[in-house]
Amino acid sequence: MVAAGIDFRLHPGERHALIGPNGAGKTTFVNLVTGRLAPSAGRVLLGGEDVTRRAPVERVKRGLARTFQINTQFMGLSVLENVRLAIFEREGLAWRMFRPAESYRAVTGEALAALEDLRLGPLAHRRVDELAYGESRMVEVALALASRPSVLLLDEPAAGVPAEGSQAILDQLARLPAHIAVMIIEHDMDLVFRFAQRVTVLDQGRVVATGTPAEVQSDAHVRAIYFGERAHG
Amino acid sequence: METLAGILLNGVASAMILYIIAVGLSVTLGLMKFVNLAHCVFAMAGGYAAIWLLQKTGMPFALALAAAAILVALLSVPVERLLYSRLYGAGDLDQVLFTIGVIFVSIALARYFFGPSPVNIAIPDALRGQVDLGVQFPAYRLLVLAAGFMLFAFMWLAVEKTALGARLRAAVDNRRIAEAIGVRTDRLFTLTFALGCGLAALGGALGAEILPMRPTYPIEQLNYVLIVVSVGGLGTLHGPFIAALVLGIADTACKYYVPEFGAFFIFAAMIAILLWRPNGLFGRA
Amino acid sequence: MSHRLRVMDVAPWAAAVLALFVFPRHLQLGTQILVMVLFVLSIDLLLGYAGIISLGHAAFFGLGAYCAGILSVRGIGDPLVGLAAAGALSGLAGLLCGLVVLRTRGLTLLMLTLGILLMLEEAANRAAWLTGGADGLQGMQVAPLLGLYEWDMFGRTAYLYSLAVAFIGFVFVRTLVHSPFGRSLAGIRENAVRMEAIGAPVRRRLVAAYGLAAMLAGIAGAVNAQAFQFVALNVLSFELSGAALIMLILGGAGRLYGAFIGAPLYMIASDTFAKLDPTYWLFWLGMLLIGIVMFRNRRAR
């Protein structure tokens, strides 16, 4: 049993962090929410609608977007192309067969603006597999944002990024549109405490504590779990 | 009733040949995940080797078969070490193209050394007659039948009961974990590949009476062998056995009862089965 | 690769037109090359862009060939009608096959595509009353092109016909590849998981690509049938699928140019050497394939 008895609520515009030791089931939780995994019991509700039986693609259309813990992008394509693909899908233009993709100026314009917003503008025409790791982590976020989600799930956006890079990422996360509900999985406690309004702690597939960062930090149970983990972060 | 028995017996005999050739492919595909379309090249090599040995030396039939199988198995080792092993991680397309190349080279070599026409194998006089099993049945095919079953039983025991078999099964299930507990997978691969090729050679030689040797053999038999392997499921011994039985009997029956459709139903059935069970009847995911 | 027209895009076609005047006695080979260029383009779309490896694409080539051929035997001789019918039939067949086959991956997918080809070949072989069986389709009566141009015995009409169709096919594929649809195929090929995560219905796109590639293959087959006024059983052979794959790999997949390099190279080499010594040709072709693949994988595993 990887996850059990999780009753989790994410409110509009909320900034929520999901933390827990390795193997606690955080990514599994994200996969359940996005539909890559099917729950053996329970429901997933998106904006009040029961989407438990809906395929991941349909949940994306209903405003749910995610990033991946490991960089999952279109490596051989440019950053601009990556984002453009997401916009084409969103706008239902991906079936068009007779005009070059570049000629859709509105799409290209929006993609460039989105990249500018995330300080990725200068990298627009570089291939994704040529970027520094921290830069491509931001492309992950750009891809997810291009779907104009109302709910955004970020799976360890700063994972593996050196300190200056993760600061830049944190700055961008702070500037995310206010109406999007954002749930972030993180190990970096600094980031968690600066970013989150509420925190949920998972351990061995169960919710151990939930509340404001201060409440969670002083929770005895949580401290017990993390006592041995502190050295590893 | 007589024809039914005849169809069954002939079907099972062809099935056994098919099985002996195909089982090596099923195991290597399951183990190395390598799409070896050139598997039947080794069967052809075994057939030609046996024919050549029988003609040049006067050795007994059974010995010639065994020698041919061992010869091909030995030859397969440098081929695997130098060529195949570099492509285990390569994409499907590269593996397919490589094996097509091997097929072409082998057809050319076969044509060069043995000529373009079918060559028959000289089976011993003792086996040329018919046996009365209620219905007249060629003695040689009876031998083939028995050989197939015995081989299956022998391999089953070897894999299920021996340490080598256990290592093989572990590596098929999960290569990384097997390596982590100390199984030398690259040596295992070479050994398994050699075994698979040796079996294919044995099948080719044993079946040369039913399926004569010709340069285009690797392509002609490829269809049926692939069907047996994909329908039976990868990485098992019994999967291709059952698939070969079903295919052999159904093919013989179709050729007898509905010759105007030929192998059409076989292919249609294969498609249907693969859609129902994409991993084959007994395959693992 | 930019969508703007460059010299490289136009040059092969200019060369093909020139060839009409420079090699007037080799128009038959030229026609064959053009047909193969179109067929290989369809496989490039399938393999190089959508990333689907199929061993059985010749099924649609053959389907188109027999469609156009049988129509002309039965009295519907106008080549453009035959062409349209062949394209429609194979496109539809491609969509159906795609729906069925693209639920699987890897070896199973390979086997299914091969199985469909084998099934069709066997059917064509047995239904001799319709297809002529192993002897080939006899009695094709192809009407003059556009009602004006007779099929001359030098093969000029056939050559220009196949040149025109191949060119239109190329323009179609080129447009498709640069369009949002084509870009989404590239995305699927690069990372299907990510495409799903941005809301792309991956399987539906692949089925559409499959259908389009099938349609193009069928058109190539129809042109082949009409240009040579004959359909042999080998239009449904594994050898044809294999040869086309080889042509694509020789020229390079995923860039559209592969067809223009690989098809003429293979066809001319095959025509020259296979006539001299088929065994020699087969041997060296096999060695070349092995060499190419080993070279591409030369780094230690």
- Cβ(C288)–Cβ(B101) under 8 Å? yes
Residue C291 has a pLDDT of 92
In chain C, domain spans? 7-296
Residue type, C229: Q
Residue A49 has a pLDDT of 85
Whether residue C186 and residue A77 make contact (CB cut-off 8 A), yes or no, is: yes
Residue C95 has a pLDDT of 95
Mean pLDDT of B45-55: 92
Q: Which residues of chain C lie closer than 8 angstroms to B86, CB-CB?
A: 294, 297-298, 300-301
Name residue A211's beta-bridge partners.
Answer: A199
Chain C residues 252-291 with CB within 8 Å of chain B: 253, 279-280, 282-283, 285-290
Whether residue C198 and residue A66 make contact (CB cut-off 8 A), yes or no, is: no
What lies within 8 Å, CB to CB, of C268 at 6+ separation is: C29, C33
Whether residue A96 and residue C176 make contact (CB cut-off 8 A), yes or no, is: no
Mean pLDDT of A210-230: 76
Q: Which one of B107, B112, B264 has the shortest CB-CB distance to C126?
A: B264
Token code pair at residue C131:
């297809």
Chain C residues 123-162 with CB within 8 Å of chain B: 123, 125-126
Whether residue C183 and residue A81 make contact (CB cut-off 8 A), yes or no, is: yes
Q: pTM (2 decimals)?
A: 0.86
Mean pLDDT of A155-165: 80
How would residue A233 be classed by pLDDT, with cut points 50, 70 and 90?
Answer: very low
DSSP-derived secondary structure for B203-246: HHHHGGGTS-B-TTHHHHHHHHHHHHHHHH-TT-SHHHHHHHHH
B229-268 b/e (C-beta count within 10 Å ≥ 16 → b): bbbbbbbbbbbbbbbbbbbbbbbbbbbeeeeebbbbbbbb
Token code pair at residue C133:
């069986």
Token code pair at residue B109:
């070599």
Q: How far apart are CA C298 and CA C301, in angstroms?
A: 8
Contact of B115 with chain C, judged by CB distance below 8 Å, is answered with no
Token code pair at residue A44:
């997933």
Taking only the tens of pLDDT, chain C with its 301 residues reads 566 777 777 888 888 888 888 888 888 889 999 999 999 999 999 998 988 989 899 999 999 999 999 999 988 888 899 999 999 999 999 999 999 889 887 778 888 898 889 889 888 988 888 888 888 888 888 888 887 788 887 788 889 999 999 999 999 999 999 999 999 999 998 888 899 899 899 999 999 999 999 999 999 999 999 999 999 988 898 889 988 999 998 888 888 888 988 999 999 888 888 788 878 888 988 998 899 889 888 875 4
Contact of C183 with chain A, judged by CB distance below 8 Å, is answered with yes
Chain A residues 1-60 with CB within 8 Å of chain C: 34, 56-57, 60
Distance from CA of C215 to the nearest CA of B (A): 22
- Please check the confidence at residue A228 and state whether its pLDDT lies above 80: no
Q: How far apart are CA B204 and CA B106, in angstroms?
A: 15
- Looking at per-residue pLDDT, the higher value among B22 and A7 belongs to B22
Q: What is the pLDDT of residues B254-263, one digit of tens each?
A: 888 888 777 7
ipTM of the complex: 0.84
- Please check the confidence at residue B276 and state whether its pLDDT lies above 80: yes
- Looking at per-residue pLDDT, the higher value among B127 and B20 belongs to B20
Q: Quick check: helix, strand or coil at residue A197?
A: coil
Q: For an interface test with C, which of B98, B112, B190, B282 has the most C Cβ atoms less than 10 Å from its Cβ?
A: B98
Q: For an interface test with C, which of B29, B265, B271 has the most C Cβ atoms less than 10 Å from its Cβ?
A: B271
- Please check the confidence at residue B185 and state whether its pLDDT lies above 50: yes
- Looking at per-residue pLDDT, the higher value among C13 and A2 belongs to C13
Residue B2 has a pLDDT of 64
Residue A111 has a pLDDT of 92
Question: What are the structural domains of chain A?
Answer: 15-227 (3.40.50.300)
In chain B, domain spans? 2-123+131-216
Q: Which helix (H) or strand (E) is A45 found in, with range?
A: strand A45-46
- Looking at per-residue pLDDT, the higher value among C246 and B233 belongs to C246
Q: Which residues of chain C lie closer than 8 angstroms to A100, CB-CB?
A: 3, 175, 178-179
Q: Which one of C123, C282, C287 has the shortest CB-CB distance to B107?
A: C282
Residue C88 has a pLDDT of 97
Distance from CA of C299 to the nearest CA of A (A): 20
Q: How far apart are CA B53 and CA B61, in angstroms?
A: 9
- The CATH-assigned architecture of domain C7-296 is Orthogonal Bundle (1.10)
Q: For an interface test with C, which of B80, B85, B97 has the most C Cβ atoms less than 10 Å from its Cβ?
A: B97
Q: Which residues of chain A lie closer than 8 angstroms to C207, CB-CB?
A: none
- Cβ(C52)–Cβ(C75) under 8 Å? no
Of C29, C79, C38, C81, residue with least CA distance to C61: C38
Contact of C192 with chain A, judged by CB distance below 8 Å, is answered with no
Computed over every residue of chain A, the mean pLDDT equals 85
- Cβ(B183)–Cβ(B170) under 8 Å? yes
HEC sequence for B26-50: HHHHHHHCCCCCCHHHHHHHHHHHH
Residue A187 has a pLDDT of 80
Q: Quick check: helix, strand or coil at residue A144?
A: helix
- Looking at per-residue pLDDT, the higher value among B232 and C208 belongs to C208
Q: How far apart are CA C277 and CA C255, in angstroms?
A: 33
- Cβ(C121)–Cβ(C61) under 8 Å? no
Of C205, C181, C218, residue with least CA distance to C88: C218
- Cβ(C164)–Cβ(C227) under 8 Å? no
Contact of A106 with chain C, judged by CB distance below 8 Å, is answered with no
Winning range, highest mean pLDDT, from A90-99, B66-75, C118-127:
B66-75
Taking the alpha carbons at both ends of chain B, their separation in whole angstroms is 41
Q: How far apart are CA A223 and CA A217, in angstroms?
A: 7
